[in-house]
Amino acid sequence: MSDENRTAKTPRTPRKKTAVEKETEGTVTLTLLREHAEQQFGHELEELAKVDTRQRPPNWKMSPWAVTTYLLGGKLDNGFEVSPKYIGDRRIIEIAVATLTTDRALLLIGVPGTAKSWVSEHISAAVAGDSTMLIQGTAGTSEEAIRYGWNYARLLADGPSMQALVPSPLMRAMQDGKIARVEELTRIPADVQDTLITILSEKTLPIPELNSEVQANRGFSVIATANDRDKGVNDLSSALKRRFNTVVLPLPKTIEEEVEIVQRRVESLGRALELPAEPPALEEVRRIVIIFRELRSGITEDGKTKIKSPSSTLSTAEAISVVNSGLALAAHFGDGRLHSADIASGLIGAVIKDPVQDRVVWREYLETVVKERDGWKDLYRACRDEM
């Protein structure tokens, strides 16, 4: 039989697929759930840089005016509209940005949910074009996480050297002249916190193992965040406090301000998560905000009735979470529109953290305030059904 006939009659054995081909077969292109600020709002930073003719501090990507405009939003001379990242007192942001032009570090402090991390990230993105130099403070944060660590394989093979050293985000920020972010500073043990004292005062990070040091380049600074409401926080030493300029981020002053914050963040998250639901009605968002504000303050909106406050913080961030949870329920298990039944479970979960004490507070609030309010009967019934 000729080779030609053999080829025609004998079926060809298919080539085996490689492991990579098997893994990628049938997959779809993945997109990031949450981009860094400098990626998500890169077009705004570019437009601001085009019109920014003011003086810039050394190694800053833009001037303090442009950084503040990026945070607070506004219309540029070329007609481009910059979206607000922070809704609140302009002077607070101006003080925070001005601090970074000096030799002082910045400490953003406030109750949970007052956008401390959000402001920290966006200031870093605008000033340095990089918000990723991040140290997350926890009870287990060690000195190495703040200063540097070692590649132990190289350390054992070659001994201490710069090649065996693993720089921390703080060290890299010093070398590159960028902003280092320390989240939840008061969660870090006090003796580890004090590692920052020399860095903030001398702008130097000693490396005694190599008889060397890393000196900070111009543009380097630190933005730390902390709250004084959670349990398990560690007080800052007076020596460390002196190295920071402290800026307090307050809760929104008015209902309208808080409603706007919730609406903007819900719309942004809804787009990112691609929730197939209609934007929430303004009145629905307003009701949630009113409930949170009344329970936080211990008095009703009209000032006539005193009420008990639960143990939960009921921050603006939690209000955003309640609305988003409701939208997810409405999108996937409802008609795509946010109703009282969709937000009831999230609302109860946000209020009731202590199953005994908070449940009593919430039930009393339902019966004395929500039940008696005009147009709130649907919310009252939905919350009662979830209890």
Residue 93 in this model has a pLDDT that exceeds 70: yes
Sequence-ordered alpha helix ranges (H) in the chain: 3-9, 19-24, 37-40, 42-51, 64-72, 90-99, 116-128, 143-146, 152-158, 169-176, 190-193, 196-202, 238-241, 255-273, 282-297, 316-333, 340-351, 357-365, 377-386
Query: Positive or negative, the Cα torsion across 242, 243, 247, 249?
Result: negative
pLDDT of residue 39: 94
The residues, ordered by sequence, that sit 6+ positions from 189 with a Cβ below 8 Å of its Cβ are: 139, 141, 234
Place 313 in a pLDDT band, splitting at 50, 70 and 90.
confident
pLDDT of residue 272: 80
Provide the token pair at 382. Answer: 């939905």
276-309 pLDDT, tens digit each: 888 888 999 999 999 999 999 999 988 888 999 9
**Interior angle at CA 189, CA 317 and CA 355, nearest 5:** 45
Distance CA 292, CA 286 (A): 10
Residue 369 in this model has a pLDDT that exceeds 80: yes
The residues, ordered by sequence, that sit 6+ positions from 55 with a Cβ below 8 Å of its Cβ are: 63
Pick the closest to residue 292 from 265, 328, 321 (CA basis).
321
CB 315 within 8 A of CB 111: yes
Place 11 in a pLDDT band, splitting at 50, 70 and 90.
very low
CB 258 within 8 A of CB 289: yes
Q: What is the pTM of this model?
A: 0.85
Pick the closest to residue 280 from 257, 295, 264, 301 (CA basis).
264
Residue 243 in this model has a pLDDT that exceeds 80: yes
**Residue entry with tokens 């590649």:** 151
Provide the token pair at 40. Answer: 């998500």
pLDDT of residue 268: 86
Using the CB atoms, write b or e for 304-320: b if 16+ within 10 Å: eeebeebebbbbbbbbb
Provide the token pair at 118. Answer: 């959000």
Least confident of 46-55, 208-217, 228-237: 228-237
Report CA 147 to chain centroid distance, whole Å.
23
Which helix (H) or strand (E) covers residue 248, if one does?
Answer: strand 244-248
Residue 89 in this model has a pLDDT that exceeds 80: yes
Distance CA 101, CA 10 (A): 77
The dihedral formed by the CA atoms of 83, 137, 323 and 334, expressed in degrees to the nearest 10: 120
Place 107 in a pLDDT band, splitting at 50, 70 and 90.
very high
Least confident of 6-10, 184-188, 218-222, 338-342: 6-10
